[in-house]
Structure 1
Amino acid sequence: MAPFTFTLFAPYNKQAALRLKNANVRMFGVDILMEKDESDGYFRATVDLADGIYHYQYKIQTKSWFEQEPEPALPNYDDDDEFKDLSNEEKQEKTEKYTKLIDEIRERNRQREHEATFTEIWYTFVDPYATDVDERGSDDAEQAVGVLIIKNGKRIIDEYEWKYDDCALPKDEQLVIYELHIGDFSGGEGDSNARGTFKNLTKKIDYLKELGVHAIELMPIKEYPGNHSCYNPRYHFAIETSYGPTADLKEMIDEMHKNGIRVIMDGVYNHSDSAAPLTQIDHDYWYHHHPKDITMSWGPEWNYNFYDPKFNVWPARKFVGDSIRYMVEEFHLDGIRFDAARQIQNFDFLHWVVAEVKKIAPHKPFYCVAEFLPDEPCITNIDGPMDGCWHDSFYWTVRDILLNNNVDMGRLKACIDCRQQGYFGVANVVNYIGNHDHDRLLIELGKQRNIFGEEAFKRLRLGVVLQMTSIGIPLIWMGEEFGEYKEKTIGTAKIDWSLIADREDNSNQMNKKLLNFYRGIIRLRENNKAFFTTNLNFIHEDDNTKVLVYQRWADSGERVVVIANLSENFLAQYHVPNMPANGWWHEWTFDYNVKVENNEVHLDIAEHEAKILVYVGDNFQPATPSSEPVVKSIPANESNNTSQEQKQPDSSLK
């Protein structure tokens, strides 16, 4: 047995109690009153505990305004024996007293929305700092319970031992990020598990490594209500139970590091679930009373502006900062995506918390990126709090071209060269043509334009070339690398791995070729230093033919020229002037060599197609074709072997 102290910060609540039991025992015992230290605002209770697993909850006299004082019921004069013998005058008098009492209670409840007054209501909830939560509760606990593990007299999270902390990891500018949802990425019809887990993801590391990505971005993994919608965290220190125990998460991250893959966590720090513990202790101490913008509100919003001079604390900043610090330290994360950063509306907090997390891992790269919509360079660059931001303007510009044939050269050039928008470096923007917030482009092409098969895949490849060759860090939304077809949904949408499985009829040929294309262009990017710089210039543009040509280069001599035909027209022997160097260039997309003379070249460029010319030198002697993956164009009239899934969206998913 060893003493263990339970602590609860609730500085303006009157009383608190602890409910505690061994996990193997069905019922809680007598509540243990906690002692309050008025000097620091903490309630404490010290209990001698043997090694083992325990369930616990806190109870408190709430100060949250939404916990209204209950109204007494009016007497039932006809059925209640107590009132049967009363005269009509006495009944009238008693009714008036009850009515007056109810009016007084209602007035107090109205005042509670403006003044933090007390009631005698006790609320039972999980420790806000609980690192493990069992939402099944116990026999006499309708709510969830916190889980505490004691070993050798001390609290532990798990017993995992890290193995690969010393492995070298890629720098920010070298990243290609892969965004995924644990439950949908690794589970599904082809897996034994109906829902993905950390262990399932660990088994797919070879797939990610072969794809060539350098980082995964995990959609939120903190404990949330329900089975799928992860952007309303309820418990900020606990990991979603359905994904597996914390040791499995650590093993997955450790194995990623072993294979040179960084792990970025998507964090929700603008709001929490409405039933999060702090909302039930003293709502307005941690949260805004009203949403900042009701049209962009997803739950109680953290009040990072509130400072409590009595206890010298910024309550919301401290709690959220503690949760971020815990996640980074405990799980050895390599970066954080800040969801809904514009809605947070507090750069002071963002500056502070980013500085805090980078102190934890000063000797390894750590990437902080914001979802700041619409994107602006103020969130990053020299004065901004973040390393980078989601480049949403890139998405909408490329989408407009691929979906609507709406080509705005000036707008596109500013997205390809983000310096024109005011961004400074490669890591300042994350470019994507799809993410968890949007339907995949293949879905939109089919639903809105009735474009399927090879024509849809061709447009998608054009988008991939623009994404992978622009200044910035590319992000791939899980499954888009092989043409996943499922629509966006708030429910389950598991990856269909059969799209890249071997089929006797080769009906998924285009899916497999698209995957091969992604693998190749990621390796092209990885092996060419030009893409790690901000060196980019536009060497030719033609508004009539909708052709844009730009060059990427490195001071060490690497050169790449991208020739993009953004139109619906085939261009035969198109003349490209102003080529940056004479000599031999390798056309990567279709795997052939071309010689540039007089700084010009003539090429056939199909509609919605991009050529990637890689400079190989003036003295190069063409020999065998390159080993780079090759994607041959498939005429539209030969695409009838495409599987039904690729031709039309799955209408069963809403």
Structure 2
Amino acid sequence: MTSLIEFDLFAPRNKSTALIASFSDWKEIPMDKCEDGYFRTQVELEDGVYQYKFRIQTKSPQFEPDRWIDVIDPYATDVDEERKVAIVRIKDGKKIVDTYVWQHDRTPLPNNHELVIYEMHVADFTGGEVDPYKRGRYVDAIEKLDYLSELGINAIELMPVNEYPGDYSWGYKVRHYFATESSYGSTEDLKRFIDECHSRGIRIFMDGIYNHTDEECPLLLIDRNYWYYEHMHYPEDPANYWGPEFNYNNYDEKLDVKPAWKYVGDIVRFWVQEYHIDGIRFDAVRQLANDEFLTWLAQKSKNNTASKPIFNIAEHIPDTSKITTPEGPLDSCWHESFRYFVLPHISGEMFEPEKLKEVLDPRRQGYAATTNVINYLATHDREYLLRELGDRGIFDEDAFKRTKLAAVLLMTAMGIPMLWMGEEFGEHKRKSKNVTQPKKIAWPLLEKDQNRDLFEHYKKLIALRKQNSALQNDNIEFFHENFEAKILAYVRWNEQGNRVVVVANFSEQNYDEYRVSNFPCAGKWHEWIEGYDLEASDDRIILNLEAYQAKVLVQ
């Protein structure tokens, strides 16, 4: 039994287009140009899997005028890059992506203020084990999800999983936005990964690359200047140019459409609805530089799901509170200044309490709420903390001690904490300058005592973060500061009477029976990291503080 299947291509300024496909023995099937800018044709097809592409008279300036070229469907949900064709699946007379059946859509997921995020690159997350087995796919990442649950992670921020050129990359030059990266596995594999995450109460945020594309993105071949800026958007900033940039200012009066808005809006709708993602990390927002579009796009992402909240995060370097106002455009921002000021404090390069206070309490920087910032010590773009310390001549036990101090700040500051994969057990590989060169994280490090101890340290802190709502709100007060001793103390609290106090020593000195004055509350306290109880008087507590150590006191 056959069904009438429609194929269409939006190319309003192009003269002619034809469909060529496996079902036509690769002979041209004419397509009609319609008043809405689409070329369309319908074909009688049985259920099955077919290959196809479009043959079009291009309007792109890199070709001769109206030259005939073959292009992959910009909306293709699966592609064969070797053969340069799109793949379409027909079932029950309709186009489908796959036949995956979701199992865990009803599982409760954490709210934004409860999040502990883990940034992951699928290819490098697995494959660094002792055994010789090749890994780096979604199915391999699924096998590590129980490890992430044990650590306490409840959100994963996936580096790009759209189809990119070649078999290995960070993925920030997308070629096919509706297709998934084939080297990671099938569309069903990705859905199963997301579903398995949801079954464990882990939300999934996807990296959205909406500023620029790969040079062979189909839209560039069809009609470059309709979707893209003709020249570099910011010629004064060539270091931050990563490829052809979408032109969100272009408006087609005849069709009453902004082409780039329409295309990227369709991308977001597709991923939210088809892959059940829980949010988007918007790459290169400073370069994209269009708040009106971002506001519209973020709202579109939220309008496409009624069953769960969508969380939209900006990568805007340097970070700015202007991107996360109550009116938007986005919900949160990567808090680059957190890392920028924590690092020199744990390395002994500076002690400026006011700078620390600014990043521990980002309201001082203009942010309105704890969910407006994503705090981190490392990312795919920034070196691991142990690498940074090693570059400063700080190694071994001393480096691990300072890393633990930084972890305390990360997990107790106002804001949402994020880890870069492997940092929790002391990965220290230098960031690759070649983004096409694999950098598998070294899982055998977990067998070493210091590394396992660091993992347990993170695990304890994450558990506290998730269990104690005093760390999930906007309440923070700095009550003790000793500039000469390089000690800073602050308290987090909630309206139910829970309190978490952090006393941090940023010096190379050990302090025996150090008196912490102005202590917020008398009575019995529990030191969370080492697991012992102690008493505070009306206005002070006495602590033994080692060099570069933080005490975490819970009441």
1:405 paired to 2:364: no
1:43 paired to 2:44: no
**Structure 2 CA distance for aligned equivalents of residues 185 and 281 of structure 1:** 36
Q: Is the 8 A contact 2:508 2:547 kept in 1?
A: yes
Q: Is the 8 A contact 2:385 2:428 kept in 1?
A: no
**Structure 2 CA distance for aligned equivalents of residues 459 and 28 of structure 1:** 65
**Structure 1 CA distance for aligned equivalents of residues 124 and 256 of structure 2:** 44
Aligned to 1:252: 193
> Shift in Å at residue 268 of structure 1?
0.6
1:233 paired to 2:177: no
Aligned to 2:261: 317
1:203 paired to 2:143: yes
**Structure 2 CA distance for aligned equivalents of residues 534 and 417 of structure 1:** 8
**Structure 2 CA distance for aligned equivalents of residues 378 and 584 of structure 1:** 42
Within-5 A mapping of 1:387-466? 387-446=331-390, 448-466=391-409
User: Which SS does the other structure have where 1:603 is aligned?
Assistant: strand
1:29 paired to 2:26: yes
Aligned residues: 547
1:13 paired to 2:14: yes
**Structure 2 CA distance for aligned equivalents of residues 189 and 201 of structure 1:** 13
1:64 paired to 2:64: no
1:272 paired to 2:213: yes
**Which of 469, 472, 481 is the aligned partner of 2:412?**
469
User: Which SS does the other structure have where 1:574 is aligned?
Assistant: strand
**Which of 63, 87, 93 is the aligned partner of 1:153?**
93
**Structure 2 CA distance for aligned equivalents of residues 191 and 301 of structure 1:** 42
**Structure 1 CA distance for aligned equivalents of residues 22 and 33 of structure 2:** 22
> Shift in Å at residue 31 of structure 1?
1.9
**Structure 1 CA distance for aligned equivalents of residues 214 and 178 of structure 2:** 14
**Structure 1 CA distance for aligned equivalents of residues 473 and 291 of structure 2:** 28
1:101-147 per-residue CA deviation (whole Å, 9 max, x = no partner) reads xxxxxxxxxxxxxxxxxx2411211100000011120xxxxxx1100
Aligned to 2:77: 131
Aligned to 2:252: 308
**Which of 394, 419, 440 is the aligned partner of 1:494?**
440
> Shift in Å at residue 60 of structure 1?
1.1
The one-letter amino acid of 2:290's match is N
The one-letter amino acid of 1:292's match is H
**Structure 1 CA distance for aligned equivalents of residues 160 and 289 of structure 2:** 21
Q: Is the 8 A contact 1:405 1:567 kept in 2?
A: no
Aligned to 2:480: 540
**Structure 2 CA distance for aligned equivalents of residues 28 and 458 of structure 1:** 66
**Which of 314, 323, 326 is the aligned partner of 1:382?**
326
1:54 paired to 2:50: yes
Query: Unaligned 5+ residue runs, structure 2?
Result: none
1:554 paired to 2:494: yes
User: Which structure has the highest strand share of the two?
Assistant: 2
Aligned to 1:283: 224
Aligned to 2:469: 529
**Structure 1 CA distance for aligned equivalents of residues 91 and 533 of structure 2:** 66
Within-5 A mapping of 1:586-605? 586-605=526-545
1:408-450 per-residue CA deviation (whole Å, 9 max, x = no partner) reads 211110100011111111110000000110111111211x222
**Structure 1 CA distance for aligned equivalents of residues 468 and 92 of structure 2:** 53
**Structure 1 CA distance for aligned equivalents of residues 52 and 348 of structure 2:** 56
Q: Is the 8 A contact 2:160 2:170 kept in 1?
A: no
Aligned to 1:584: 524
Tell me how large the CA RMSD over aligned residues is.
1.3
The one-letter amino acid of 2:88's match is L
The one-letter amino acid of 1:286's match is W
**Structure 2 CA distance for aligned equivalents of residues 179 and 313 of structure 1:** 35
1:200-240 per-residue CA deviation (whole Å, 9 max, x = no partner) reads 11111111110001101110000001212310000010000
> Shift in Å at residue 305 of structure 1?
1.1
User: Which SS does the other structure have where 1:253 is aligned?
Assistant: helix
1:554-578 per-residue CA deviation (whole Å, 9 max, x = no partner) reads 1001011100111122222221001
> Shift in Å at residue 295 of structure 1?
2.5
> Shift in Å at residue 45 of structure 1?
1.9
> Shift in Å at residue 28 of structure 1?
4.8
The one-letter amino acid of 1:35's match is D
**Structure 1 CA distance for aligned equivalents of residues 190 and 330 of structure 2:** 26
> Shift in Å at residue 301 of structure 1?
0.5
The one-letter amino acid of 1:17's match is A
**Which of 180, 193, 199 is the aligned partner of 2:120?**
180
1:538-562 per-residue CA deviation (whole Å, 9 max, x = no partner) reads 0011111111100000100101110
- Asked which structure has the greater CA Rg, the reply is 1
With over 3 angstroms needed to count, the CA separation of the structure-2 counterparts of 1:46 and 1:193, relative to structure 1, is farther
User: Which SS does the other structure have where 2:430 is aligned?
Assistant: coil
TM-score under structure 2 normalisation?
Answer: 0.96
Tell me the percent identity.
47
> Shift in Å at residue 160 of structure 1?
0.7
Aligned to 1:87: none
Query: Unaligned 5+ residue runs, structure 1?
Result: 70-118, 138-143, 502-507, 616-654
The one-letter amino acid of 1:393's match is S
